[in-house]
Copies of this chain bind each other. A is one copy, B any other.
Amino acid sequence: MNSVNLKQLARELNLSVSTVSRALRDSWEISTPTKQRVFDLAKKMNFQPNPYASSLRKHRSRTIAVVIPEVANNFFALAIKGIETVAREKGYHVLIYLTNEDVAEEAAIASSLQSGRVDGVILSLCGSSQDTRHLLELQQRNIPLVFFDRVSEGMTAPKVMTNDQESGFIATEHLIQAGCRRVAHLTISMSLSISNKRQQGYEDALRRYDQGVETGMIIHCGKDDAENYRLIRELFMSENRPDGVFASVEKLAVQVYHVCRELGLQIPRDVKVISFSNLVTASLLNPSLTTIAQPAYDMGKEAATILFRRLEKKYIVVPEDRVMLPARLEVRDSTMA
């Protein structure tokens, strides 16, 4: 336990606790020589102010929460890195919570954050969130909330996102231009706006190139990998199997590769594949995977920057800001004509 506190410093220096406290915050009310004495002793005794006493008194914890569906995913890992970088720069601490794509866990976490443990929250919705009451309660407690990537359309809060619809269009168009005539779309939870937008882009592209939208070509995947594998396998074994696949998230692309391997289908000859993904190994896959890569690190930094702007400015309250960071198409072998 850290036992050196203001009282001890004060006694040692023959000063009052308040003077020591003020000296350490470099207040103008304290004379330079006194400040120096205080600084010196504090350093010598390795004084570390108790953050909890301070938080209790100031009603601010200099701590934020990052709530994400999973971490073993390059996108979220990079986002965390971006957030942590900005946070440490600003002297903030970062609590991490994983929802495991489970709305009940997300709600429990949000509820526990109502205690005032954190000054603000950066969140990416889990796939099964349809109801955002637990997040509204956070806002009602005046705890700022910033969304990134998987944002809530319904809520008024800053959002850091990518151009999902446009990217969905570009991905699908890319497949069509590579010669695909039956493009399938693998998506996750339809309660997520990113999924809807990516699918919207997919449908826009199909219509634009006079290809019909077939519901059978849109596969709704979930959080169970084995089940996803089964669904994809079924798709590829069907009468009219697709000759192109647009995967909404990277883990689905991985499953596509596995299924193709099992069924002896060759990418890109038999089926072309493109996916939203931040895999570092995309270019080393067999075949290398064409991706739509999101600027994950920058999205994390941006979300954190917006949050800290809110936390630090008291007067100007911007009700909502949206930042759109563009994703990049990286063409590789999996979509070769």
Residues of A bordering B, CB below 8 Å: 1-2, 46, 48-53, 55-56, 59, 61, 63, 70-74, 77-78, 80-81, 84-85, 88, 93-98, 112, 114-117, 137, 141-142, 251, 254, 257-258, 279-281, 283-288
Q: Please tell me if the beta carbons of B84 and A141 are within 8 angstroms of each other in the complex.
A: no
Query: Which residues on the B side are within 8 Å of A95 (C-beta)?
Result: 63, 93-96
The interface residues of chain B lying within 8 Å CB-to-CB of A93 are: 95, 117
Q: How far is the CA of A93 from the CA of B74 in the complex (A)?
A: 23
In the complex, which residues of chain B have a beta carbon less than 8 angstroms from the beta carbon of A115?
2, 48-51
Cα–Cα, bound, A2→B142 (Å)? 8
Distance, CA A280 to CA B73, complexed state (A): 10
Which residue of B59, B80, B141, B286 contacts A286 across the interface (Cβ within 8 Å)? B286
Partner of A72, one of B2, B46, B70, B74: B74
User: Smallest CB–CB gap between A224 and chain B, Å?
Assistant: 16
A93–B280 CA distance with the chains assembled, in angstroms: 30
Given known contacts A77-B77, A281-B281, A2 and B288 CB-to-CB distance under 8 angstroms:
no
Known: A72-B78, A88-B97. 17 other contacts (CB 8 A): A1-B141, A2-B115, A48-B114, A52-B61, A56-B56, A70-B81, A71-B71, A71-B81, A72-B74, A72-B81, A77-B77, A84-B97, A85-B98, A95-B96, A257-B284, A285-B286, A286-B287
Which chain B residue has the least Cβ–Cβ distance from A286? B286
| Residue of A2, A53, A59 with highest tally of chain B CB at under 10 A | A2
| Residue from A59, A63, A280, A287 with most neighbouring chain B CB atoms (10 Å) | A280
Smallest distance from the beta carbon of A180 to chain B beta carbons, Å? 21
Query: Can you list 29 A-B pairs with a CB-CB distance of less than 8 A?
Result: A1-B116, A2-B114, A2-B115, A2-B116, A2-B141, A46-B114, A46-B137, A50-B56, A51-B116, A52-B52, A52-B117, A71-B71, A71-B80, A71-B81, A72-B74, A72-B280, A84-B96, A93-B95, A93-B117, A94-B96, A94-B97, A95-B96, A96-B96, A251-B280, A254-B281, A279-B281, A281-B284, A284-B285, A285-B285
A78: chain B residues at CB < 8 Å are 72
CB closest chain-B residue, reference A285: B284
Q: Are A98 and B81 in contact (CB under 8 A)?
A: yes
A98 in complex: contacting residue of B73, B84, B98, B112, CB < 8 Å: B84
Q: Which of A50, A72, A94, A114 is most buried by chain B, counting CB atoms within 10 A of its CB? A: A72
CB neighbours (8 Å) of A116 from chain B are 1-2, 48, 50-52
| Chain B residues with CB below 8 A from A72, complex form | 74, 77-78, 81, 280
Distance between Cα atoms of A115 and B94 in the complex (Å) = 16
Contacts of A74 in B (CB 8 A): 72
Bound-complex Cα distance A96 to B81 (A) = 10
A6 to chain B, nearest CB (A): 13
